[in-house]
Amino acid sequence: MNGPFAALRWVFLWRDKSAFLEGFGMTILVSLGALLLALALGIIFGLFSTSAKKALKGIARVFVEFFQNTPLVVQVFFVYNALPYVGIKLDVFSIGMLCVGIYHGAYVSEVVRAGITSIPRGQMDAARSQGFSYLQAMRYIILPQTVTIVLPPLANQAVNLIKNTSVLALIAGGDLMYRADSWASNGTLSYGPAYIVTGLLYFLLCFPMVTWARRHEVKIKNRDIQAHPAEGAAAGGAK
């Protein structure tokens, strides 16, 4: 078995593929949980940061700045190794969901804020003059219009979130990266194929999302430009 990529190593990997698949499943589950949390937090804090109330704005700013300007690894290590000393001992799955979810919640909230501020001010004024309350105007008039605008950057956030779940490998989290790492460093030490296959699996999750986001962005641009109505209609109509 000369070299880290010897043919026999690929055979070993195929024999032990269950380890990789289990890790892949865990990564998908953590990603889904974290994504839901990130979206919920993102919408709440996005609304906070665009509200007229100074206090809410302040809370949102502090939340966003804190999580955007500290490394995710530090947050995860803190929750994993420091919180048990004060009696808070979360399991690794929860840590993954919470830490990655909150971290990306900060980014999503910025995306939502950008989306809301991109809607012309007149929309809100018109809605309020028709008797909508602030929240109703947001719910029925403003947010629906932001959805198409924020979808591409949201997809990018989702991709980053999936990749960031690999931080669990550092705290024995049982995700794809951890299982791959564990397999690569035990027994036959076949780390070459292990990391290639792991990279491919992450790629399979992320690439479709990025591609979709890119195409969606083009679609929006075409619709906005309206330079070639025929093409724009085709692009808008193609599902």
Q: How many CA atoms lie within 13 A of 150 on its CB side?
A: 26
**C-alpha dihedral, 232 to 156 to 200 to 102, nearest 10°:** -150
6 counts as binding other proteins under rule CB under 8 A? yes
Q: Footprint of other proteins on residues 76-95 (CB under 8 A)?
A: 80-82, 84-85, 89
Give the DSSP letter of residue 82: I
Judged by CB under 8 A, the residue of 54, 55, 131, 187 near other proteins is: 187
Window 103-142: residues binding other proteins (CB under 8 A): none
Give the span between the Cα atoms of 107 and 98, in whole angstroms: 14
Does position 220 interact with other proteins (CB under 8 A)? The reply is no
210 sits in which H/E element:
helix 191-225
Contacts of 134 (CB under 8 A, 6+ apart): 51, 128
> What minimum distance in Å lies between the beta carbon of 215 and other proteins?
8
Q: Is 151 in the site for other proteins (CB under 8 A)?
A: no
Which of these segments, 74-82, 110-118, 134-142, 217-225, binds other proteins (CB under 8 A)?
74-82
Locate 23 and state its tokens.
């890790």
* Number of residues forming the site for other proteins (CB under 8 A): 35
User: Which residue number, 12 or 134, has a Cβ lying nearer to other proteins?
Assistant: 12
**Cβ(165)–Cβ(27) under 8 Å?**
yes
Q: Interface with other proteins includes 212 (CB under 8 A)?
A: yes
Are 57 and 51 a contacting pair, CB within 8 Å? yes
Residue 234 interacting with other proteins (CB under 8 A): no
State the residues that interact with other proteins by CB under 8 A.
1-8, 80-82, 84-85, 89, 170, 172, 178, 181-182, 185-192, 196, 200, 203-204, 207-208, 211-212
